[in-house]
Amino acid sequence: MHTKTIVELAQGLKNKDFSCVELTQYYLDRIRQSDLNAFITVTDELALAQAQAADDKIALGNASILTGIPYAHKDIFCTKGVKTSAGSKMLDTFVSPYDATVSQKLNQADLVMLGKTNMDEFAMGSSSENSFYGAVKNPWNRLKIPGGSSGGSAASVAGGLSCFATGTDTGGSIRQPASLCSITGLKPTYGRISRYGMIAYASSLDQAGPMTKTAQDAAIVLNVMAGFDEKDSTSAEQKVPDYTTNLNDSMKGLTIGLPKEFFSSGLDDEVANHIMAAVKEFEAMGAIVKEVSLPNSIYAIPAYYIVAPCECSSNLSRLDGVRYGYRAKEPKNLEDLYLRSRSEGFGEEVKRRIMIGAYALSAGYYDAYYLKAQKVRHLISDDFKKVFEQVDVIMGPVSPTTAFDLDSVKDPVSMYLADIYTLSTNLAGLPGMSIPAGFAQNLPVGLQLIGNYWSESKLLNIAHQFQQATDYHSQTPCKYKTVGTNR
């Protein structure tokens, strides 16, 4: 049952092959038996209550395709009455008094929330090891990282602990774990999905999106998640199409751009071979391939790691031990309260980024660092605009390697390089996807699709057609020898 897609489960519920309550209990049992550490909070009672309500709705004939489908919610979205920790000790006791807009939309769609997934603290990381609740394990090999920061969400889908999951992507945090866990992950255009109630890391970069088994499932979920929200000043007043409408459009005449910068030194040879094999699959379907250049993408890492820390240092300043969140015990004075609450409540990577951001924004350094990074950001965006005058979609790798060993990367800069192919998309605010494209030494490889603004329908169409021609997306960890477990 856990290998079924949203479409397949919806059909099973419609045919009364099983009830929502039975389906939900099945997933809850799998979560309890799992050793992936994919969840921070499991909401058994809430899930079963939502499942019963969904069964009642189905009985009345008022169900939609998503009614009663169990999902996992990244623990960065506020959920009324349920702990929302963002993977941090700082918010370990925080129970949100309201729902994020995404949470509200999913509730209105009669979905069943199984729980909140583990993640890098405040979405800062590429491995899901920077969590107060411990590292998440990759379902394909429990000695490997699942990617980050949405690693718990990716592991829950790949490991059969949920039908789909929500994720957020600030610099690749949906696409990179989707790639390393062999699922479909979509980061929409910036502003496509409301950020209201989504705990902010870098406000000009953060974007929510679906993490699913297939592109068709992603289209179905995006139909619910997308849309303008007056509570979010960065939400776009852009009409939401039905993302399932054009899934079966032909690939004939599609123009694919391959950035030469994405295929330079640093890319693993086996990963490159799988990416090129996927591109040839599109050529066989009638697509046209041409080499393009994104010359300023080589500056994406330094630009991102100035812009994002600057925004995070501002966003996290509200967590001071006074209003909510972790509070140091028996402070001597106000200064001691601030100092110890933040020192004890934040993890090392979060403190590192706060300090970088505070330094770059300080007097005398603002122009030299933050302002210059924003100028580079515009250059990166201009590169994409020029390329999209020539091609319909950009393709390339998501990650330079397959999943690496847990606790193997100690140097922060080396960790930052894991996002070398994804950061530029966020800096430009463009939509991007990762879809399964093969396996290198039994570890997943993802193909990245980058589209022009508001081209999610086209990306989903391209991804769906690839998944009709290949079966990588239907492979599950149980079909391979999984390391670090006897299952």
How many residues are there in the chain? 487
Considering the segment(s) 6-254+463-479 as one domain, its CATH architecture is Alpha-Beta Complex (3.90)
8 A C-beta contact, residue 211 and residue 183: yes
* 38-70 CB burial, b ≥16 within 10 A, e <16: bbbbbbeebbbebbbebbebbeeeebbbbbbbb
- Report the alpha-carbon distance of residue 9 to residue 11 in Å, rounded: 5
In this predicted structure, the answer to whether residue 165 has a pLDDT above a threshold of 60 is yes
Predicted local confidence at residue 337, as pLDDT:
96
* Cβ atoms < 10 Å from Cβ of 230: 10
The yes-or-no answer on residue 375 being catalytic is no
Predicted local confidence at residue 484, as pLDDT:
55
- Cα–Cα distances in Å, from 355 out to 76, 154, 341, 415, 418? 22, 29, 16, 18, 22
* 312-337 CB burial, b ≥16 within 10 A, e <16: bbbbbeebbbeebbbbbeeeeeeeeb
8 A C-beta contact, residue 465 and residue 287: no
Predicted local confidence at residue 481, as pLDDT:
42
Mean pLDDT of 30-37: 98
Mean pLDDT of the chain: 96
Domain range summary for the chain, segments of one domain joined by +: 6-254+463-479
Q: What is the 3-state secondary structure (H, E, C) of the chain?
A: CCCCCHHHHHHHHHCCCCCHHHHHHHHHHHHHHCCCCCEEEECHHHHHHHHHHHHHHHHCCCCCCCCCCEEEEECCECECCEECCCCCHHHCCCECCCCCHHHHHHHHCCCEEEEEECCCHHHCCCCCCCCCCCCCCECCECCECCCCCCHHHHHHHHCCCCCEEEEEECCCCCHHHHHHHCCEEEECCCCCCCCCCECCCCCCCCEEEEEECCHHHHHHHHHHHCCCCCCCCCCCCCCCCCCCCCCCCCCCCCEEEEEHHHHCCCCCHHHHHHHHHHHHHHHHCCCEEEEECCHHHHHHHHHHHHHHHHHHHHHHHHCCCCCCCCCCCCCCCHHHHHHHHHHHHCCHHHHHHHHHHHHHHCCCCCHHHHHHHHHHHHHHHHHHHHHCCCCCEEEEECCCCCCCECCCCCCHHHHHHHHCCCHHHHHHCCCEEEEEEEEECCEEEEEEEECCCCCHHHHHHHHHHHHHHCCHHHCCHHHCCCECCCC
The yes-or-no answer on residue 173 being catalytic is yes
- Cα angle vertex 52, ends 51, 56, to 5°? 115
Helix orientation angle between 101-108 and 215-225, rounded to the nearest 10 degrees: 110
In tens, the pLDDT along 319-330 reads 999 989 999 999
In this predicted structure, the answer to whether residue 369 has a pLDDT above a threshold of 70 is yes
Helix orientation angle between 269-284 and 456-469, rounded to the nearest 10 degrees: 90
Mean pLDDT of 100-108: 98
Its pTM stands at: 0.96
State the catalytic residue, choosing from 19, 34, 74, 116: 74
State the catalytic residue, choosing from 173, 194, 297, 313: 173
In this predicted structure, the answer to whether residue 372 has a pLDDT above a threshold of 50 is yes
Closest Cα partner for 51 from 34, 63, 40, 33? 63
In tens, the pLDDT along 294-352 reads 999 999 999 999 999 999 999 999 999 998 999 999 999 999 999 999 999 999 999 99
State the catalytic residue, choosing from 85, 149, 341, 434: 149
8 A C-beta contact, residue 18 and residue 110: no
In tens, the pLDDT along 212-270 reads 999 999 999 999 999 999 999 999 999 999 999 999 999 999 999 999 999 988 999 99
Phi, psi of 415 (to 5 degrees): -65, -40
Predicted local confidence at residue 487, as pLDDT:
40
The yes-or-no answer on residue 250 being catalytic is no
